[in-house]
Structure 1
């Protein structure tokens, strides 16, 4: 992944230069030479917040600076920073700053500032991350798919799992896999799935997907879920991929594989599969 930090830095600079315009995730990701799907995963793992949250917080910061000068009208500032109406702008502004846009124009108003990101090279890593590179043949999965927004997926996907396991479908699809299927923007599909057995009928509300043959980086995760899985995921995007010189990302999807239930939480086993190809 040569030029990793430079690519992320270019993407951040692009966002900063176009905060008053419509920002498209594919264009932003193009600055980092990855797909929009992967850029959003990488950005969130590295920064701890989503691309959408970063853009929104930066816009509201700049909007407050303009209003506090006392010269700009609330309506003009709202339109400048992408809000369709003064009401929607006022709600977002008040949630972020704790005061209304009109109050921000008064002297002495206490406002919040969200600084632009800057890439700094620091000495990190030095930790062990177990993985293996393996070739997998094409296989087919069957399961239930739901669409999610990248900005809220960390909260919504666990609810999807909880609802599924309590439903009748939970007895049909056990959930061997959790599969992220990349979309063209903020939206992507997530599938709770098992291996497809062609001699069985596909149950109602379920579908099949073909996962193509290819090379995968497989990362074992041992310990309680979801914390262990999230910790390994962060290491993959923030340490392993930036340091990887022999492979680059391939495909617009990745897979979580869940082992059978363990008697003790610390014995729980799962894996993260990332599709890759040689540079």
Structure 2
């Protein structure tokens, strides 16, 4: 239940600080989590990124305050943490469908976005197959790239799939295999640091130990206890679906906590025919 407690703390902190210029990075720091881990956890469980949640809550409150008031737009924009009256007016109009000046008049329709609340209900009853594995630390030879944390919660974002396609077109897989001891492919990701707004993602194979060219990187995977999940299906969509189940079904109810460290997807010819890949997340068992 740690993940639920963390989400409750995050929501409480954001609600209390809507009128201060906080970002999701500040919330992550408050929870002693990396920006990447918090952003991914919140987005998958809440169904909305923390940045978007803060934005909608502020604009919802601004809409309630402006009706029938004589407050200046510049004062409202400052109060709700916008840098300029123009940026506030544009965001307000997109959210409410009406400009701030027109919203002052009684009788116009406005949007309200209520605070998220954690509610435990009788749901589920579905199976989610997993296994716990112990594995010695290992090293990958990878083609690595940095991505903004936001890509994990942006709907229809294709930056990481595009990276895979780019590597295929440029024959990177063939290049990596020259320095690998096994052809299984890994899609591995990890936050750079707690304060970073980006995360590293690498495509690689098990490293054989030879000298490597400058355009490839060594990636050390340290964790030794893993929860492993099969992505059942033939299309890449099953990977996102499995990640969603991990964060909404497994982590909130299991006796394991996900560690803020490298996790990976394993693509292997030895997997079952209906298994697109496996997701390996580093965990520790709760006391």
TM-score under structure 2 normalisation?
A: 0.84
| Kept after mapping to 2: 8 A contact 1:180/1:189 | yes
| Kept after mapping to 1: 8 A contact 2:132/2:225 | yes
Query: How many Å apart are 1:20 and its aligned residue?
Result: 1.3
Residue of structure 1 in register with 2:180 after alignment: none
| Kept after mapping to 2: 8 A contact 1:63/1:77 | yes
Name the CA distance, whole Å, in 1 between partners of 2:148 and 2:108: 34
Cα deviations across residues 18-55 of structure 1 (Å, max 9, x unaligned)?
01113254553466675543332222122211111111
Residue of structure 2 in register with 1:225 after alignment: 235
Residues 28 and 165 (structure 1 numbering): CA distance in 2 closer, same or farther, change over 3 Å?
Answer: same
Query: How many Å apart are 1:190 and its aligned residue?
Result: 1.8
Query: How many Å apart are 1:253 and its aligned residue?
Result: 2.7
1:151 match: secondary structure: helix
| Kept after mapping to 2: 8 A contact 1:61/1:112 | yes
CA RMSD of aligned residues (A): 2.7
Residues 105 and 191 (structure 1 numbering): CA distance in 2 closer, same or farther, change over 3 Å?
Answer: farther
Name the CA distance, whole Å, in 2 between partners of 1:158 and 1:53: 23
Residue of structure 1 in register with 2:262 after alignment: 253
Residues 117 and 213 (structure 1 numbering): CA distance in 2 closer, same or farther, change over 3 Å?
Answer: closer
Name the CA distance, whole Å, in 1 between partners of 2:100 and 2:207: 55
Residues 82 and 157 (structure 1 numbering): CA distance in 2 closer, same or farther, change over 3 Å?
Answer: farther
Unaligned 5+ segments in structure 2 are 178-183
Name the CA distance, whole Å, in 2 between partners of 1:204 and 1:141: 15
Query: How many Å apart are 1:224 and its aligned residue?
Result: 2.4
Q: Does residue 163 of structure 2 align to residue 163 of structure 1?
A: no
Unaligned 5+ segments in structure 1 are none
Name the CA distance, whole Å, in 1 between partners of 2:128 and 2:97: 42
TM-score under structure 1 normalisation?
A: 0.86
- Give the aligned length: 274
